[in-house]
Structure 1
Amino acid sequence: MREPHIATTDTGLMLWHETEALARPVYAALQAELLRLGFTVGPCAETEKHYPTLAPGHRRGRREQLDYSLELSGRTVKFEAWQESRASNPAGGRYDFRKVDRMDYLTRLRFVWTRRHLLALLAGMGFPLASERLCMSPSGRDPLAAFNSGWGADRFTRGPDGWPDARELSSWDRRDGDGKPTSSGDTRFVQPWNARGRWVRCRVYGGINGMWHCYCNGAYLNNVNVGNLRSVWPGRGRRFSSRERVRVLEGRLEKAVHEKRFLAAHGINQELERLKAEATKPKE
């Protein structure tokens, strides 16, 4: 009989057992532990409506701002968490990318705390201890250890600092948005999805497939394309493109409408229309 297997993801856990009969007690134990931790545990309304025969294997619940789903599918049990109140996908936060990055700080702490309790429970049930994939920043996260947990410590030709060397990264474009080559440990500027047009300073690592891990003050951004990085502070020695200006103004417009500052929103909207008209005007 094969050993049970457990894997951690950025948003939860995935478990595998030898048979469905062995997986069901694990599914029940996780429900009991979530109840003990203060979460609600109930049926998934969507599954009950469309797939009633599968409903016993689907559970939904929440504690404060942290939502989760727990699913039993054959020999596999899956736990996944997100924050519905900060969802951007019209179908719900469960279908967002980078769910952990979208959580506010306290909800992210709640998620880490919950996952560690579930891992401790599973270790007592005979599952091998998994190396927890860290999702917290700024402190307590070793960039190289986090990179190795995802890619493996024995892959790629490494430099003296432990990161993939320049020859290993030569298959992908390393030039940032200002045309400067990027290496692990360099300082760059990046615009997080929730920054409302603001740029933040960060350290970048990795570079596999042209994607970089960014460690900022209070935020961790995973898989940022090198073209979205800047080596010069935007606005200082570099001109914003029309697309960037439109994106910033759209964020300001949304904020002004949300705060019911309609006079300011009217002015921002006029500027947006002017920029869009200039972009569509045929060149003479």
Structure 2
Amino acid sequence: MSKRKLDINIHDSHIGIWQDDPNDPTFREEVYSGLIRQLRGRGWSVKEDPQVRKHYSCLSPGHRLAAKGTLRAKIELSGRVTKIEFWCTTYPLDNPNGRRYDFDKLQRMTYLDQKRWELEKRRILTWLLSFASLEIKDKNLSKLSADQLIQKDYAESCHTKPDLGHADWHADYNRTSKDGELLSQGQTVWFAGHDGRIRRGQAFYNLNSMWWVKISPNERTNKSCRELFTKQPANLRTKLNERRRRGVLERLLSRAVQASDFRRAEQLQGILFGDEQVYRIWSRKDDAYYAVNSCGYCSDANRAGRYTRAEAEKEVQRVPHILSMVCPDGKHVRFDQDAA
């Protein structure tokens, strides 16, 4: 009997196991269930995904979450592909929805977690080779330099203008930097890395407000123009992580209030806002509060984002037909014309 043929696509911390026939009834048992058994045999805890179970119960058998030490993984069966994607719990929380939704998961991992992921990848491939012939495409091993990757993207993009060599940015807001200057192709820029440390690179236009930043001959990243500086920040030792810092402090403040630790809550509010009063933002469209850093919504006033009066007024006046400012006494203030 001939071996099963599988295509393996590896990118970042994602491993996709593909086969040609989407109707093969043995694929679930041999590959998806087999992968789960392999992980459990190596000490992983594998359980159902509670969110999928809650909202899409019919899909729950094809979705699992796994954990071992500081590594986490999501396993999914969909048609003719079994996917497993890893992340870790050791790098700073950026995405309010959780680390599993971050980009560049492998790059964010610590050195030891990267090695643990590499070991898991090798073990999975060795297991697959025991019963299948594999064609492996590992984008992490690309030999193209950062310049070559950028040029490859330009060559393959339908938005590239032949006379420019890249897409047209159409308007200045697609190339206005964080410090208010206009970006030009290939210029030197500074930006905050995942750890908040200042990094330097060359900016090359991608699409809309996004720019490729060449960090080294073999490394690039994709950043919004509003994350880039055209002038070197005065103090390179200062972390540019104010947004992340505020998010962490606000979450600690919410926990202190929930635990009735009001002295701790008072200290944290003083660190965040000084003597200023705290406001919240209410969306009449979504019937919910703005969450921390204006990122998402929540129905709990304690977990809602906290804002100064100036911050709240500015945001509410931006879309007054949808938003209201919630004062410290709980009063909702509208700025739309109908309320005037």
Specify if TM > 0.5.
Answer: yes
Q: 1:160 maps to what in 2?
A: none
**Residue among 138, 141, 146 paired with 1:143:** 146
Kindly report the root-mean-square deviation, in angstroms, between the aligned alpha carbons of the 2 structures: 4.7
CA distance in 2, matches of 1:15, 1:141: 24
CA distance in 2, matches of 1:145, 1:41: 40
- The one-letter code matched in structure 2 to 1:171 is D
Q: Which has the higher strand share?
A: 2
**Residue among 44, 47, 53 paired with 2:49:** 44
CA distance in 2, matches of 1:71, 1:188: 39
Q: Does the residue aligned with 1:233 lie in a helix, a strand or coil?
A: coil
Would the aligned equivalents of 1:6 and 1:13 in 2 still touch at CA under 8 Å? yes
- The one-letter code matched in structure 1 to 2:112 is L
Alpha-carbon distance change, 168 to 36 in structure 1, aligned in 2, over 3 angstroms = farther
5+ residue gaps, structure 1, are 158-163, 237-244
Q: Does the residue aligned with 2:165 lie in a helix, a strand or coil?
A: helix
Q: 1:239 maps to what in 2?
A: none
- The one-letter code matched in structure 2 to 1:40 is S
Would the aligned equivalents of 2:66 and 2:72 in 1 still touch at CA under 8 Å? yes
Q: How do 1:1-284 residues align onto structure 2 when only pairs under 5 Å count? A: 4-17=6-19, 18=21, 19-24=23-28, 25-35=30-40, 37-48=42-53, 53-84=58-89, 86-89=92-95, 91-122=97-128, 125-133=132-140, 142-144=145-147, 155=156, 167-169=164-166, 171-172=168-169, 175=175, 177=177, 178-183=181-186, 186-192=187-193, 194-195=195-196, 200-204=198-202, 207-209=205-207, 211-214=210-213, 222-235=221-234, 248=242, 251=245, 254=248, 266=270, 268-270=272-274, 276=308
- The one-letter code matched in structure 1 to 2:136 is L
CA distance in 2, matches of 1:67, 1:100: 12
- Give the TM-score normalised by structure 2: 0.55
Would the aligned equivalents of 2:249 and 2:268 in 1 still touch at CA under 8 Å? no
Alpha-carbon distance change, 41 to 230 in structure 1, aligned in 2, over 3 angstroms = same
Determine which structure has more spread, i.e. the larger CA radius of gyration.
2
Would the aligned equivalents of 2:204 and 2:213 in 1 still touch at CA under 8 Å? no
CA distance in 2, matches of 1:143, 1:92: 29
Query: Identity, % of aligned pairs?
Result: 23
Alpha-carbon distance change, 153 to 235 in structure 1, aligned in 2, over 3 angstroms = closer
- The one-letter code matched in structure 2 to 1:182 is Q
Residues 270-279 or 167-176, more deviating? 270-279
**CA positional deviation for 1:235:** 4.4
Q: Does the residue aligned with 1:69 lie in a helix, a strand or coil?
A: strand
Alpha-carbon distance change, 45 to 39 in structure 1, aligned in 2, over 3 angstroms = same
Would the aligned equivalents of 1:176 and 1:182 in 2 still touch at CA under 8 Å? no
Alpha-carbon distance change, 58 to 23 in structure 1, aligned in 2, over 3 angstroms = same
5+ residue gaps, structure 2, are 254-263, 279-306, 318-340
- The one-letter code matched in structure 2 to 1:126 is S
Q: Which has the higher helix share?
A: 1
Alpha-carbon distance change, 119 to 176 in structure 1, aligned in 2, over 3 angstroms = farther
Q: Deviations over 1:24-64 (max 9, x none)?
A: 21223422443455433333344455555544433221121
Q: Does the residue aligned with 1:28 lie in a helix, a strand or coil?
A: helix
- Give the TM-score normalised by structure 1: 0.64
CA distance in 1, matches of 2:58, 2:243: 48
Alpha-carbon distance change, 63 to 216 in structure 1, aligned in 2, over 3 angstroms = farther
Alpha-carbon distance change, 258 to 56 in structure 1, aligned in 2, over 3 angstroms = closer
| Structure with bigger RCO (C-alpha 8 Å, 6+ apart) | 1
